[in-house]
Chains A and B, each alone.
Chain A
Amino acid sequence: MRARAAIAAKTLRTDRWWLAPLITVVGLSAWVIYATVRVFMHDFYWVADYHYLTPFYSPCVTERCVEGASHFGSFLPGWWIIPDAALTLPFLLLFRLTCYYYRKAYYRSFWLSPPACAVPDGHDSYSGETRFPLLGQNLHRYFFYAAAIISLINTWDAIYAFHSPEGFGFGLGNVILLVNVVMLWAYTISCHSCRHIIGGRLKHFSKHPVRYKAWTAVSWLNVRHMQLAWITLGTLAFTDFYVMAIAANWFNDLRFIN
């Protein structure tokens, strides 16, 4: 067995290869901290006048939930440790945790395996996704199915929010909720598992013209999966913040109709 070239430097890259993983660590950490604080705040998630419900509490299923926010009933105990959207949040978290884009992002930036291309792995041994627990990444498809159902619930929230004390209403909050839902759908549909289920698994596109068209459309979105992953983190946090601000009366919603 011949030996590799004896090159002393661990990497000879001269560009700022550490910048992208650094931004990822900062961005993801900031989001996770914000989301954790909000989920355990158990307050300021519902604007009764306009029916605004933040996606972090949808659907609200604990005894603590205010009326209106809980369209599926409130059957879980109101301990502070239980998130009010305990049915949906775990699945959304797992959907993103097993997402092919986020996997790339955190394997590189948090796990340093590898931190950047042609930069050495931060670990002595490596078995990849061949054994437990990382073998579980193959469950991504289940979480995609769950995320698609949750997107339906979020869509209902956005439609239900066209409301005011006088009946129909429309304000800036509605625009924010709608944009968030559209982006969530785009992120969910652009998922690699979705692309596979829609048409990628076929061997003969010519026998399935409709699925081929759908696959082409999903492929177009799939190229943008990374951008959509970050955009939806932004829209989720912003939507939640806006609803919190209105619910806490920090400022008033800009109303266009009623």
Chain B
Amino acid sequence: MGTDPQQAAGKPAAKRQFRIWRGDETGGDLQDYTVEVNEGEVVLDVIHRLQATEAPDLACRWNCKAGKCGSCSMEINGKPRLGCMTRMSTFEEAETVTVTPLRTFPVIRDLVTDVSFNYEKARETPAFAPPADVAPGDYRMQQIDVERSQEFRKCIECFLCQNVCHVIRDHDENKPAFSGPRFFIRASELDMHPLDTRTDRKEYAQSEMGLGFCNITKCCTEVCPEHIKITDNGIIPMKERVVDRRYDPLVWLGNKIFRRGQVPQTSATSGHSSGAVTSGAAHGGVHSHAGGSHDSGAERQAQQGVNWQREVPHPTAPAVDSSGKLPLTELTFDRAAAPSPFGDDVEFPLPAEHLNFAHPQQDEPKH
């Protein structure tokens, strides 16, 4: 921004009309701005120019300016978009560009909203559950098996899909019962994952995440900046998997004849109704990041190279809030800075002697 705009761009800078929602939870309105726009700029650039000139107190969340961090989600001319990925050249010269905060979430100030809803839903979604007898580091899977899950890993958590979904956008009362498209693809990702061992994800998606609320009108897919086929590859396959379990007579008959797919009773099928689940990573007394082991055999092995099973003592528990969980944001916690999920006595980078990898010559003197 320091360079002369006339020099930086091919065309001279033009003045363009903007309407930006200013306010907070007590109220607000659309305010008009006339601002300079240069060739090649995006909406976020213009917002930065406004902050640098006539509206220094305009609040906006942003980070990477490359469509990869998912911070600058906003609604531009009524459409949920990333500010950094919406080119000014897509608008007419005389067009007024209206920028508002995400509608579905509570506003903090101006264009910044409180997206805690999504972090709460993330916490309720059961985690990856690898087989108990395979140590981390020994996971092996084929590319074609894990490909479908990988599409969903492109998600940058901009929450545009959560924002556009009419189930909660237009009906706030559905929020407790509905996790939203971002977490449906999380459920699909794990249900399709070759190494995930949980068998109750389908029941869980239907009974606890509110998969049935979705009426597949595909707005989540339309707004996804990563072009993930949320509906076709995530939600519909998940709905079909639920049908497998609940409604399909041929699958039922096949399972009877070939005695496959015996479903164990799970928390989701046994009628419990709490939204939250306990973490899938109940590893007992092992923590792989810090300290020395009490097992001399594992300790010797660790000295020879990698040993993922090396037992190490627990670090102190992470600082949690009144609900017994890590606070979602700094805003809702009583301490400065985010608490460490690893425990406050664990430092990064980890001390070399506490790693599960030992270099064969680590004890020899350095040059």
Contacts and interface: CB of A to CB of B under 8 A. Distances in A.
Contacts of A257: none
B248 interface: yes
Contacts of A100: 216, 236
A118 interface: yes
A117 B219 CA distance: 5
Nearest to B101: A5
Interface string B13-33: 000000001010111111000
Contact of B167 (A2, A103, A128, A135): A128
A206 B144 CA distance: 6
A144 to B, nearest CB: 11
B78 A12 contact: yes
B80 interface: yes
A206 B145 contact: yes
A12 B214 contact: no
Nearest to A116: B219
12 contacts: A3-B106, A5-B21, A5-B103, A8-B29, A113-B166, A118-B219, A126-B174, A128-B167, A129-B213, A138-B243, A204-B145, A205-B145
Contact of A12 (B23, B75, B219, B236): B75
A113 B108 contact: no
Given A13-B78, A128-B167, A5 B28 contact: yes
Given A126-B170, A138-B239, A200-B240, A212 B222 contact: no
Interface size class of B (residues with CB under 8 A): 35 or more
Contact of B241 (A142, A201, A205): A201
A8 B21 CA distance: 11
Interface string A147-174: 0000000000000000000000000000
B164 A118 contact: yes
A128 B145 contact: no
B218 interface: yes
Nearest to A105: B217
Interface string B236-277: 110111111011111000000000000000000000000000
The A contact surface, by secondary structure, is loop
Interface of A: 1-9, 11-15, 100, 103-104, 107-108, 113-114, 117-118, 120-121, 125-130, 134-135, 138-142, 145, 192-193, 196, 200-201, 203-206, 212, 222-223
Contacts of A14: 77-78, 95, 98
Interface in B3-53: 21, 23, 25-30
A1 B175 CA distance: 13
Interface string B215-244: 111110011000000001000110111111
Given A5-B103, A108-B217, A206-B145, A192 B210 contact: no
A51 to B, nearest CB: 34
B356 interface: no
B359 interface: no
Interface string B124-150: 000000000000000000101101000
A108 B217 CA distance: 7
Given A100-B236, A104-B216, A118-B80, A2 B107 contact: yes
Given A8-B29, A121-B166, A204-B145, 17 more contacts: A3-B25, A3-B26, A12-B77, A13-B77, A15-B77, A103-B216, A104-B216, A104-B217, A107-B215, A107-B217, A138-B242, A141-B240, A141-B248, A192-B237, A193-B243, A206-B142, A212-B144
Given A6-B27, A205-B145, A114 B219 contact: yes
A126 B98 contact: no
Consensus secondary structure, chain B interface: mixed
B98 A12 contact: yes
B212 A128 contact: yes
Contacts of B243: 138, 140-141, 193
A120 B170 contact: yes
Given A117-B219, A128-B167, A200 B237 contact: yes
A25 B237 CA distance: 28
Interface in B169-225: 169-174, 192-194, 210, 212-219, 222-223
Contacts of B247: 138-139, 141
Contacts of A103: 215-216
Contacts of B249: 142
A190 to B, nearest CB: 11
A121 B173 CA distance: 14
A6 B28 contact: yes
Contacts of B222: 117
B104 interface: yes
A128 B104 contact: no
A209 to B, nearest CB: 9
Interface in B93-118: 95, 98, 100-101, 103-108, 113-114
Top 5 closest A-B pairs, CB basis? A2-B106, A12-B78, A13-B78, A117-B219, A128-B213
Nearest to B223: A117
